[in-house]
Amino acid sequence: MKRSEINALIRENIKWIEDKQVHLPPFAYWTPEEWAEKGHEYDEIRENMLGWDVTDYGRGDFRKTGLLLFTIRNGNLRRSEFGKPYAEKLLISEVDQLSPNHFHWRKMEDIINRGGGLLVLQLWNATTEEELDLEKDVTVRIDGRVTKVPAGGKVYLKPGESITLTPRMYHLFTAKKEKVLAWEVSMVNNDKTDNRFYEKQARFTQIEEDEPAEYLLCNEYPEGK
């Protein structure tokens, strides 16, 4: 992705989030210059990869396959001083934009539609060989109700509705009708080691630096002063 595209997407979605009366923490708005002056008191943000995350999964077409996220809080199983056992993320899914099929080996997560259109998820169990189980029903909880979905079946979440995704449950999602503001509440998140994509692809985007960054992504912070 071009840096100019990332800058524009973050600007656009800050405005969209504000229009929905959602407020992000102060570090969401820090410039690279401000980050360069921050000391080690902010290492929890750096180490746990809080903040902006814009990815096209290496596909080169963000509007077709991609996701914009903001991690608000996250723990770290390797660092006891960052000992939260939970994480919280904001997810913005564009209409017909695919977030590709994947599961997590360890993380359990609730995905909540906080507003906009329909959030559509497609679900499968994983086999012991980490293939798609094309036969077995998927058992999930939707707002606390046990629900069975056929292999490859779809769940449609209206604003306010949520689903619990357990480890080794393949899922992909997109938005229908209009863009969706979604929320993830989960166990500790580790995007470097806990994502198993069904098709091989990059989790983080290669960036073409065609203009200066307006905001740093969660994997770009400088070391503390």
State pLDDT tens for residues 169-225. Answer: 999 999 999 999 999 999 999 988 899 999 988 888 889 999 999 999 999 999 998
pLDDT given for residue 78 in this prediction: 76
Is position 146 within any domain?
A: yes
* Residue pLDDT, tens place only, 22-47: 999 999 999 999 999 999 999 999 99
Structural domain of 179: 3-197
Would residue 216 count as lying in a domain?
Answer: no
Instruction: State how far the Cα of 195 lies from the Cα of 198, in Å rounded to an integer.
Output: 10
How far, rounded to the nearest angstrom, does the alpha carbon of residue 137 sit from its chain's CA centroid?
25
- The mean pLDDT of the chain is 96
What is the predicted pLDDT for the residue at 83?
Answer: 76
Number of folded domains that form the chain = 1
Q: Within a domain: residue 66? A: yes
What phi and psi values does residue 43 have, to the nearest 5 degrees? -65, -25
Name which of 39, 32, 114, 34 is nearest 72 in CA terms.
114
> In terms of pTM, does the model score above 0.75?
yes
Could you tell me if residue 218 is inside a domain? Answer: no
Give domain status of residue 165, yes or no.
Answer: yes
pLDDT of residue 225: 83
Specify if 211 maps to a domain: no
Q: Provide the pLDDT for residue 33.
A: 97
Asked if the structure places residue 210 within a domain, the reply is no
Instruction: Judge whether 179 and 116 are in contact, CB under 8 Å.
Output: yes
pLDDT attached to residue 171: 98
Which CATH number fits the domain that encloses residue 16?
A: 2.60.120.10
Q: In this structure, what token pair is assigned to residue 28? A: 């969401």
What pLDDT sits at residue 133? 98
Q: For position 191, what pLDDT does the model report?
A: 87
Residue 57: name the closest of 157, 211, 205, 219 by CA.
205
User: pLDDT class for 128, splitting at 50, 70, 90?
Assistant: very high
pLDDT tens digits for range 53-97: 999 999 999 999 999 999 999 998 777 777 799 999 999 999 999
Is 187 part of a structural domain of the chain? yes
